[in-house]
Amino acid sequence: MYMPSEYPPFINATGNVSKVLEKIKSAQTPERFTNDFLKTKLGITSSSAVPFLGVLKRMGLLTTDGRPTELYNQFRNPSQSKAAMAQAIKQGFKDLYERNEYAHDLDRKDLEGLIISMTGADGKSKTVVAVVSTFFELKKYANFDQLEATAYENQDVVQQVGEYEVEKTPTLKPKDLKMNLGYVINLNLPETTNIAVFNAIFKSLKEHLLD
């Protein structure tokens, strides 16, 4: 049976989920996401919103010491936001997805049943209800189809690049290999004005080395 600390991420006051996420999108990315940042910069002063920092960490949007991750930045990017949240949900609710890879397609009743069977919790558990509600609030900001499409496109690009590199790097056979040699000859000519001496030297070079 699961211990309480091993439940999927949740927050009891689920109304704070959308409040915090909307503020994250509009506010500047902090060096560290702390309780003070939540209250002072985001303007969310309710203590019931503080546990959501733990949810963000378990989803990979923040590091354990509260530093925003690349996934956090992607969530703030309008073109990547929904795919980033889908990835964050899959990371935070990993145990659910190990039992059903399409957990995000389940309705509330089926998702609740999945969590009960996974945790061994009581059917009337308020924690289970909170997990389900948190999941559905987060899902409003996610697009799992976009995440899958992005993953497929990235895989396709990698494959194309690999094929291109193979085509542009042909295997060389021994008969294709050629060797070009060059050499330098240094001559120490005698001190003479007799042209016949020079003619003899260059004639010898031509006959023995240059042909």
What are the distances in angstroms from CA 119 to CA 74, 112, 128, 168? 31, 11, 9, 54
- Given phi > 0 = left and psi -120 to 50 = alpha, else beta, which region is 60? left
Cβ atoms of 91 and 82 within 8 Å: the answer is no
Q: Where are the domains of the chain?
A: 4-154
CA 77 to chain centre: 14
CB of 67 within 8 A of CB of 31? Answer: yes
Q: For position 74, what pLDDT does the model report?
A: 97
Name residue 99's amino acid.
R
Q: What is the pLDDT of residue 124?
A: 87
Check residue 6 and give its pLDDT: 75
CB 65 within 8 A of CB 115: no
**Residue 1 confidence (pLDDT):** 45
Within the chain, which residues score under 70 in pLDDT? Answer: 1-5, 151-211
State the pLDDT at residue 13. Answer: 97
Q: Can you tell me which residue has the tokens 């899902």?
A: 139
Q: Is 134 exposed, middle or buried (0-12, 13-18, 19+ CB in 10 A)?
A: buried
Nearest to 14 by CA among 196, 138, 150: 138
- Between CA 38 and CA 29 the distance in angstroms is 12
| pTM for the full predicted model | 0.70
Closest C-alpha among 177, 185, 188 to residue 205: 185
pLDDT score of 136: 98
Judge contact between 38 and 51, C-beta under 8 A. Answer: no
Provide the 3-class DSSP secondary structure of residue 76: helix
